[in-house]
Amino acid sequence: MNRPDPDVQAVIDLATAGFPPLATEMTDITEVRAFFAARPGPAVPPPPVARVTDEDADGVPVRVYDPGVHETAPVIVFCHGGGFVLCDLDSHDGFCRSLALATEAVVVSVDYRRAPEHPFPAAPEDAYTALLWAAATYPGRRIAVAGDSAGANLATVLTLLSRDRGGPEVTCQALYYPMLDPTRSRPSHRENAQGYFLTADHLRWYWDGYLQAPAHRTSPYAAPLAGADLSGLPPAQVVTAGFDPLRDDGLAYAEALTAAGVPVTSHHHAGMFHGFLSMAGALPAANEARETAFAALREALARD
């Protein structure tokens, strides 16, 4: 059986040690959020961006990162991960700053409502409202959608909603280890169920909090791998990790998009784990992978 390299496993162990025992010993959402609120902030200051402002996107809080490169810079609507339950604008602040600087794009990070207090479809509806706001606030600019984990689910759902509701036009979608299938039935969910930071217990708890009505588990706007019509969607960039329970979600979605005629660029990192792009400071390989992912998105947004 393959195992992560020792330096990768050391980062996995550190990340696991700093994470609560979700779904097993800790299930109350108030207790879970208090745990994260009590953790110290990052030791390294986040990279400076020319202008960072908190805005109201027609009722949805967003944080806008403008690198100040040029007045017609493209826009990336970003949805953070956290199983639809955890994380917020602050948890992904450093990631969004790096994304804005690397892509030379304005990043609009969406503070969507979270489960279990606000189950599906609150999150995708908030994200779509933010997408409409971004299109109206930055008219004529190219717009991409991006996200990690559950946020990557929301990003690809945004492409479905924009297609089905007549806009706004999305240039491309960047999906970083997407969380797409509530059945959790593919092999990677068994192979990587424990020991690699994100666990099968976490995913069960996340999905149960997000999809509280049984019918929602087959909605294309919640589970894009549940037979959704993927035709006519914008080109996709999909990043997957070998030791991630969600590995096969991302690989299957890339295959499904390709079968539907959607251009796909896949970046599979066999030795990495879930969330590794956010840990670029601890792993040279993760830093290189993030640079590659962000460069690909910048190129896609600049393409004529």
- Please report, in tens digits, the pLDDT of each residue of the chain (304 residues total): 589 999 999 999 999 999 999 999 999 999 999 999 888 877 788 899 999 999 999 999 999 999 999 889 999 999 999 999 999 999 999 999 999 999 999 999 999 999 999 999 999 999 999 999 999 999 999 999 999 999 999 999 999 999 999 999 999 999 999 999 999 999 999 999 999 999 999 999 999 999 999 999 999 999 999 989 999 999 999 999 999 999 999 999 999 999 999 999 999 999 999 999 999 989 999 999 999 999 999 999 998 5
Of 151, 132, 135, whose CA–CA distance to 143 is shortest?
A: 135
- Residue 279, helix vs strand vs coil: helix
Task: Using alpha carbons, list the distances in angstroms from residue 49 to 87, 99, 292.
Answer: 21, 10, 20
Tokens in use for 132?
């409409």
Single out the residue of 174, 54, 32, 39 nearest to residue 114, CA to CA.
32
Q: How far apart are CA 262 and CA 229, in angstroms?
A: 11
Superfamily of domain 4-21+51-299: Alpha/Beta hydrolase fold, catalytic domain (3.40.50.1820)
d(CA 155, CA 171): 12
23: left (phi over 0), alpha (psi -120 to 50) or beta: left
Cβ atoms 150, 205 nearer than 8 A: no
Residue type, 87: C
Residues marked as catalytic: 149
Instruction: Give Rg (Cα) of the chain.
Output: 18
- Entry pTM: 0.97
Q: Two tokens at 192? A: 């990587």
Say how far apart CA 79 and CA 265 lie, in whole Å: 20
Please tell me the distance from the alpha carbon of residue 248 to that of residue 260, in angstroms, as a whole number.
Answer: 18
Is the separation of the CB atoms in 277 and 197 below 8 Å? no
Taking the C-alpha atoms of residue 289 and residue 239, their distance in angstroms, rounded to an integer, is 9
Residue pair 49/100 in contact (Cβ under 8 Å)? The answer is yes
